[in-house]
Amino acid sequence: MLENTIELLSNSSNPVDKEWAAMYDLIYLRREKLLTPMEQLDRIEVFKPKEVEMKILKSILKAYIYSDLQERYSIFLHISGTDELIDSLTSTFIKDSFNIRLGLIMSYVYLFENDLEKSREYSYSILNQSFFENVKANAHHNLGTSFLLEGYEKASEHLNKALDFFMYHNQATKVKQVDLNLSFLQSLWNKDFAYTLSLDNHTCFLTYIYYLIKKGESILALEHINRIAIEDLDQWDKAFYFYYKGLLSQDKTDYYYSVEYFSNLNNFFHIQLPLLELKKLGENEVALRILRSRRRK
């Protein structure tokens, strides 16, 4: 449908239609991963839109690209004022369409900024609309994640709603992501369960190690974690690797490495995990509070 829309608009004699065709073509290339994020940014700057709808779409698309680059500060710069532009539209359908695009990215961004109130506000706005049922699973996933550290029941409720939808629609990648979150949640809150995820990547293997730690099988967990070559891990997995290693060693240095990697990712949600353990070990609460809210320049 997208390809047909691009062709139809490209053949229009209206220059605005042609500009929309170019914008949709960029969305297509992004979806198919045919351009790097920096190439996408270069292309999007060509557009100098006059129509409000295209101004909105340009801002939202740039927000998604900066999210790929882990540049959340840039997202806030480019998304500023978009809410007001959307409110100026007259069509309820178009408003909801843009609000959903905006809500999906901003619920994710605010989650990792650890502004959970704002993250949940955007997620609930997605659940409260009636046009686009298929995106509600993503809102449930973000909501479930936002409740991970607060308690089991609410987090489990939202994550399972997301999982049911993704399984029904055979979205294997999304199913794996939610399964990992559910496994982490169950281990975190000491729920008795059998670990069923395949250990086919570092993230799953590390989550299995966490499962063993929480089950009290520290010797086996230590054997597994010592087999991991840290240079093979990405920043996300390194952050959790050192958190789990700290749980086994009770060495403050491991927790501080975890804090460093979470900070490098601008992940101020999961950074609470090693900071909580450092607090238990008697670290200065003022210093920990600074680390909890620190932003990279």
Contact (Cβ atoms closer than 8 angstroms) between residue 181 and residue 159: yes
A 10 A CB-CB count for 123 gives 28
57, 128, 251 from 94: Cα distances, Å: 11, 15, 53
Residue 117 CA neighbour count, 13 Å, CB half: 0
pTM: 0.86
Q: Which residues of 211-242 are buried (b: 16+ CB within 10 A; e: fewer)?
A: bbbbeeeeeebbebbeebeeeebeebbbbbbb
Whether the pLDDT of residue 178 is over 90: the answer is yes
Which of 232, 243, 250, 234 shows the shortest CA–CA distance to 270? 243
Query: What residue spans of 147-189 are helical by DSSP H?
Result: 152-168, 172-188
Given 3-state DSSP classes, what are the helix, strand and coil percentages for the chain, each rounded to the nearest 5? Answer: 75, 0, 25
Return mean pLDDT, the chain: 91
Counting residues of the chain whose pLDDT is more than 70, the rounded percentage is: 98
Question: What is the predicted pLDDT for the residue at 296?
Answer: 43
Task: Dump the DSSP string for 219-282.
Answer: HHHHHHHHT--GGGS-HHHHHHHHHHHHHHH--HHHHHHHHHHHHHTT-TTTTHHHHHHHHHTT
Task: Dump the DSSP string for 105-151.
Answer: HHHHHHHHTT-HHHHHHHHHHHHT-SS-GGGHHHHHHHHHHHTTTT-
Q: For residues 102, 105, 108 and 112, what is the CA-based torsion angle, rounded to 10 degrees?
A: -110
Minimum mean pLDDT range among 24-28, 88-92, 287-291: 287-291
Question: What is the predicted pLDDT for the residue at 297?
Answer: 39
Residue 264 CA neighbour count, 13 Å, CB half: 13
164, 194, 209, 214 from 197: Cα distances, Å: 16, 9, 12, 16
The 10s digit of each residue's pLDDT in 21-67 is 988 999 999 989 999 999 999 999 888 888 899 999 999 999 999 98
| C-alpha of 275 from chain center | 21
Where residue 14 falls (left for φ over 0; alpha for ψ -120 to 50; beta otherwise) is beta
Which pairs from 5-11 meet CB under 8 Å and 24+ separation? none
Interior angle at CA 55, CA 53 and CA 61, nearest 5: 100
Average pLDDT over residues 150-155: 96
Question: What is the predicted pLDDT for the residue at 182?
Answer: 96
Interior angle at CA 143, CA 141 and CA 148, nearest 5: 95
Contact (Cβ atoms closer than 8 angstroms) between residue 225 and residue 209: yes
Minimum mean pLDDT range among 29-38, 203-212, 237-246: 29-38
Average pLDDT over residues 239-261: 96
Question: What is the predicted pLDDT for the residue at 289?
Answer: 74
